[in-house]
Structure 1
Amino acid sequence: MNSSPCRMRDDISDDAAPSTTFASVRTTEIGPRPPYPEGDSARRSSPTRTSRTPRDADHVMTSEIHLRPVTEADLALVESLRNTWPATSSAFEWFGYSDPGQTRRRWSQDGMLGADSGTLMVHRQDQAVGMVSWRSTPFGPLNRGWNIGIGLTPEVRGAGIGTRAQRLLVEYLFDHTEVNRIDAQTATENIAEQRALEKAGFVREGILRGAQFRGGEYHDLASYSILRHDVSPHRRAASSQGQERRS
């Protein structure tokens, strides 16, 4: 993998062909609703339209994406995205077996929302279709940033959901934490995820040579970042309005 918060950065690219089949898990939101990042409903197509092009359909689909905390019903999906099998993994996601109980233990401890790392579910309409996560990266004794990762079920890749979910996570973290920098890394061969990051507003910074050990050898990673001032105020305001409409 890479320096992403969980084992899922390189297995998820917006346009990557699915290599495994993950179970889709329906979820129920419980408890008071926190300020979730949410897609801007104003971007939905007019209800008077009788037909949509494929591009229109993708536009509606991504506008209905929002992020929410992990519930107990989501744990099987989270585990399936993090703990794959060698015979069914994509070219970027097999790193060996991991503790199958780790996800539940972490969720029981803090709901997977801690001071130094966290996970939110990617929700489309009434179904969880993946997750985004982040972890702290120090930049000296006075400040830190976030490193993010994403995991999506194969059947929803290629529709812009990964781009939208990563953008919503960026806006959420800048709205609710004081960091100035968020970064992400992906395999240099994973062109689709690189495009998704760029569409989400990330800037390519360069190549981390030989940074990731996978499949018996070291691989280069493409490194991306986005700064607080890169996220325009009106875009962040739009997300805040969407959160208010949902609450």
Structure 2
Amino acid sequence: MVETQPHVVVYSAVASNQLALVDTRTRPDAGVFTRRFIRGIRDKKADRNQDGKVTHQELLAYTRRESNAYCEATPRLCVQGLTPQLAIKSAMSDDDIRLWAAIPSKEPTKLMMPVLDDLHVEILPRRLKQGSAMRFRITSDQKAGYLLLFDVSAKTLRRLFPNRLRKFIYLKAGKPRVVPDQLSGFEIIAKSPGQRLLIAVRVNEYRELLMLQKSLPEAFEQISKQTQTLSQEQLSQQLNQVLKNVAGNLSCSITTVGYEVSP
């Protein structure tokens, strides 16, 4: 639950019990909510009373109508529904969104965007064979924090870090780190051949790490019901949408890297 603060507006693609989806029916692929959010403002699709303004209430109503229409058209994918959320002070709900960007204020409005793109992962070695040991060179460019690392196939999600031998890995800003290192006392083995994804997440606080390492597998279980119809690229996009939804208002960085294990 996001606390409503003065001059802070938080839009969420879905309710807390729902799974955000990627709209693959129109190119380029984009989040169901994101595409409609942009259209609502840029093209004034949300201006229902045609007064030339797009208010927060109008935009919320528009994204909800459009999300519901998407679910009606794709019921197999949209099992739990899509209900965009808005956290805002009631006095601001009728403000014209575009005026906020045009009129400077002493306390600028903040649109909460929790996911940053400053995390980089390199898989070592670059060519992997089944049964070979693998390591990861990870760099968090801007911020220090705790690392979560998952290995994903179409039907399975395996947490690599933290694990029972390594409770946490702390990344220093701008300093590459290779895991597991020679002092770790264990190896990570490439087990199953085929196309796979690596998900890396950096969070600021240890309590956030504990929350995500529990929530992400639960969200992945919902996604795995759809993966027979998704390409690896689409699976990566869906996972990013899930992570944004699960992360909520956390300040974190997320990246997904595709790789292949040969027999």
State the TM-score, normalizing by the size of structure 1. 0.24
User: Larger C-alpha radius of gyration, 1 or 2?
Assistant: 2
State the TM-score, normalizing by the size of structure 2. 0.23
